[in-house]
Structure 1
Amino acid sequence: MPEREDDYLTPATRLLEKRRELAEVEQALLAQKEVNTAAQGLAGAVLVNLRFMIPKWWGSRTGEGLAEASGPRRSRALHKVSEQREQVVQKVVEAMQLRQEIARLLVERDRLQRRLEAHAIFRTPLTLCLPRCPFLPHRPLPGQFQEIQVLIDRFRTLAATNMALVQQDLGSREAMAEKRARLQQYLEQSSNKIMQLNNQLAVLQAQREQARAKVHQWESKWSEIQNTAAKKTLQLGQIKMAALNLFQLATKQMKLQVDVPLEDTETQLDTVQLCMLDLADILADLRKGEPAPAIQPSPTAAS
């Protein structure tokens, strides 16, 4: 239910309002009385004039005068008399309406007078309060109603300002509530986003640990491969040295002049193989030229 402006008024202020309304009603009554009196006077004057003018007019028109009157002049006179009668009736109706309005205003004045008397006890505190009001232009004089009206106007201004501030405060509260709701929604969204990022971070950390384990495993394998390669390289070097020694020994023994690079191990081995084949052929030829050895019986066979 909307608040009315009267809800902000104190009983003393209402008393001053009723006094002002009563003064306005009294002024309206005086104005209506003056208008009513003027209307009644005018209506009475018109009736008196009609009462004297109509017989006189008809008397002046009797006999030859009436016979000599032309038709148009007579119709105009009758029309004028009819208009005057209508004006009199209208004035009488207006006078009756004014009497009714005066009666209503009198009833309203009595009602306001009763309310004024009921709130009369608040006039003294308000009158004592007026000299202490800093916003008045000057100190009020006894019975000076305008100063009380200034107080009422000031109170209304303050009440309107208070209402505007209340509305502004309500608007600010609504805006603050809306901003808080948006902030809460943003915090919830941020919290969900942070949880998702934490989960992704945990997954990435697990993947990093797995990658580290694989790196360690492959580093171990690489170290093993390097060790194996070093051993194989050492063995290969030993084999090459052995092949070179064997090549040199074979060529020296066979008195061969072969120009083979030191790094060409395969050619060296091929040369050694050829030397061994030659030696094998020579040995076979030697065995063919020697006599066969006699076969001696074994002791067991002689017995």
Structure 2
Amino acid sequence: MEASQFFSHIQKARLIPHSLVLEHVSPATRLLEKRRQMFEVQEALDLQKLEFAKKEEVLKRREEGLKRKDIELQESLIRFSKFLQESDSKRSRALKKAADERKACEEKEKEVDQLLHLVEDLRTQKEEAQAVLKSNIKYQHYLESVLEVTPECHEINDLIARHATLEASNQDLKEQQRQAGESTEQVRAELRAFTKSKTDEVLHLNTSIAALKKQLEALEQEAYALEAKKDQQLQAATQKTLTHGQVCMSTDNLFSRCRQKSSVARGDEKSPLRQLDIIGNFISDLEAMKDLPHPGHKVAAVS
């Protein structure tokens, strides 16, 4: 009997009322019945423990068997993994070797192509050199003919060296001519610049002279105006001086006549203003004397 069935049976037994089981027994009998039930329960528990122990033993043996099988399986997996790793390593080495050989073949093919191109280029250069040699052989014949009529040169190289010397001299002369032309052009440019500078300077000076002439004309006109004004002022001053002299002479003449006609003794006055005051006083006295009631009195009038 399993544990679940046992506990289910016990629970069902507990559901039966005590009045139905031990309804007509004494308390001692009831106690014995309780003990008997407890003994039965204890026996059932012991039996269940034995069954559990047996099952546990069986499970332990199964677990140990599974552990052994698991260990064997792990060892098999390890061996298989090592086999796979070795296979992968061999495969990788084989693939790498094949790739290296393929790369080496490609490099060799490229090298062969380059060599073929080089051979083709050399063949082309050879053909071009042969064509140049064929076209220049006439110059060699010409140099040999020139060498026959040139006693100072004994070999073609002497002619070539002589030609190189003359060519260098010609280049030097051309360079000197070019430098002389550049110098001449530079001198011409400097002359043009100098001429332009002096022309500009002359134009500037002419402009300055024209401006100065205008200033001189303006100053001359101003001087003429000042001279005319000065003449006018001088004439006015002369006229004033003449008028002043005439007034002074007239005043002095009148003053002298007043002194002669007046019965009042007066000193010799030189100031025209003072003389005019005296003349005015004399005339005032004459006017006052005319108004006096003395018809028989004679007063000498100033003629």
TM-score (norm 2): 0.46
TM-score (norm 1): 0.46
